[in-house]
Homo-oligomer: A and B are copies of this chain.
Amino acid sequence: MTTLHTISKGPSSKLLESCLSIARENDALLFIEDGVYYSSELASESSIPKHQLLFTLEEDIIARGLQHSILNKFETINYRKFVELCTFHEKVINWF
């Protein structure tokens, strides 16, 4: 029983901190919209989660010019995989 969390604001919000305070170790995190800055080495003050699986949305990365700065811990996925993640995890919690 795992949850997919989507995070759609960047590091200048406190969204990731809120999410991590109640996410479980085997949950997955998907960063979308301005959330993709979290997945870039060009992000300020972002503390990368230790345990969870980390995904980041390709379309949002390309829009923002982040394609060459994505951190290794993140898997870059497209919308089809976004949909698949929603079906794979029993629950989806959206953080916005």
A14 at the interface (CB under 8 A from B): yes
- Residues of chain B with a CB closer than 8 A to A12's CB: 13-14
* Residue ID in chain B nearest A15 by CB atoms: B12
Distance to closest chain B CB from A2 (angstroms)? 27
Q: How far, in whole Å, are A14 and B11 apart by their CA atoms in the complex? A: 10
Q: How far, in whole Å, are A14 and B13 apart by their CA atoms in the complex? A: 8
Distance to closest chain B CB from A1 (angstroms)? 30
Distance to closest chain B CB from A9 (angstroms)? 11
Q: How far, in whole Å, are A13 and B14 apart by their CA atoms in the complex? A: 8
Q: How far, in whole Å, are A50 and B78 apart by their CA atoms in the complex? A: 47
3 CB < 8 A contacts A-B: A12-B13, A12-B14, A13-B13
